[in-house]
Amino acid sequence: MKFWTRQADSVCVVGDCAQTIYSFTGSSGWFLSHAEGDFPGPYREICLSSNYRSGREVIRCANGILALSPEKYSLLRAATKARGRVEKRRFKDFPSLALFACSLAKARDPSKSFAILARTRKDLAEVASRLSSEAVPFGPPGPEAEGKVVLSTLHAAKGLEWDEVVLILGTERGGEEEEERRVLYVGATRAREKLFILFLSSPSNLSRFLPFNPPKSC
C-alpha cells in the first residue's frame, strides 16, 4: 500500500479489526491499528459505530461476544428502534441440533430472507441432508437463493446479511483464540431481525465466546 500511495496527497484506510477472519490468507487487524505510524500525518481516525442493520438485542449479543476480549474492539451502537430477537439453545448431540435447525427453516416466514451459517462444511452437509429429506429448498448465497434457505460457512457469509440467521456451533475445533471470537462476531452480525444460536456443549467450539445468560436445553 505504501508503494501504491507513495505519490498520493492523502490515504483513506477503511476496515474493522473485529472482522479480520482471514489470517490464513495473510489478513491481519495489525495493519488497521498501526496505520497511523505507517503514513505521514496529519492522522485522523473516525469510528463508525452506528449499526443500521440489526435489532437492539442482536447488537447486544454481538457486543457481548467482544466484551471479554483482551483486545480493545469498538462496540456497536444500534441505530434503529427495532428490538430484534436472540435465542440460544444447547443440544446434547448434533443430529438433534440439525433437526431443530431444519424445523426453524420449515417454519420460516417466506417473505423473509433466512440463512443457516456454520463454522465447517461438515456441519453444513448434515444440515443439508436433513433439509433435503424434508423437501426444504436451499442453496448457497447468491441471486438464485431468493426464496430458499441459504446455507453458508461463517467465512463465506462475511459482508452479507439476512432477516433471520441460524448460527450452528457444532463439531468444529478452535483455531487461534481471538480470530475464532471474531468469526463468531461476524456470524452474529449477519442477522437483521432474528438470531438463533444452536450449539453443542463443548469447550472447543465457538460457544465458549457466547455472552452468558442461561440457554434453553434441548
CB 162 within 8 A of CB 133: no
pLDDT tens figures, 97-111: 999 999 999 999 999
**Taking the model in full, what pTM does it have?**
0.86
**DSSP 3-state of 117:** strand
Distances (CA, A) of 207 to 34, 36, 88, 148: 30, 35, 10, 27
* Residue 36 falls inside a structural domain: no
Q: How would residue 213 be classed by pLDDT, with cut points 50, 70 and 90?
A: low
**Phi, psi values for residue 143, rounded to 5°:** -60, -30
* Residue 159 falls inside a structural domain: yes
* Residue 84 falls inside a structural domain: yes
* Residue 133 falls inside a structural domain: yes
pLDDT tens figures, 28-71: 666 666 667 777 777 788 888 899 999 999 999 999 999 989 88
* Residue 146 falls inside a structural domain: yes
* Residue 39 falls inside a structural domain: no
- What b-and-e string marks burial along 122-135, b requiring 16 or more CB atoms within 10 Å of the CB? ebbebbbebbeeee
How wide is the angle at C-alpha 74 spanned by C-alphas 212 and 18, nearest 5°? 80
Q: Which domain holds residue 156?
A: 52-217
CB 186 within 8 A of CB 73: no
pLDDT tens figures, 112-138: 999 999 999 999 999 999 999 999 999
Q: Which of 150, 136, 131 is nearest to 191 (CA)?
A: 150
* Residue 167 falls inside a structural domain: yes
d(CA 197, CA 14): 29
**φ/ψ bin of 116: left (φ > 0), alpha (ψ from -120 to 50), beta (otherwise):** beta
pLDDT of residue 87: 96
* Residue 6 falls inside a structural domain: no
Half-sphere exposure in the Cβ direction for 104 (13 Å, CA): 26
Q: Which of 157, 173, 179 is nearest to 23 (CA)?
A: 179
**Phi, psi values for residue 16, rounded to 5°:** -135, 110
What is the CATH classification number for the domain harbouring 184? 3.40.50.300
CB 94 within 8 A of CB 83: no
Give the chain's domain count. 1
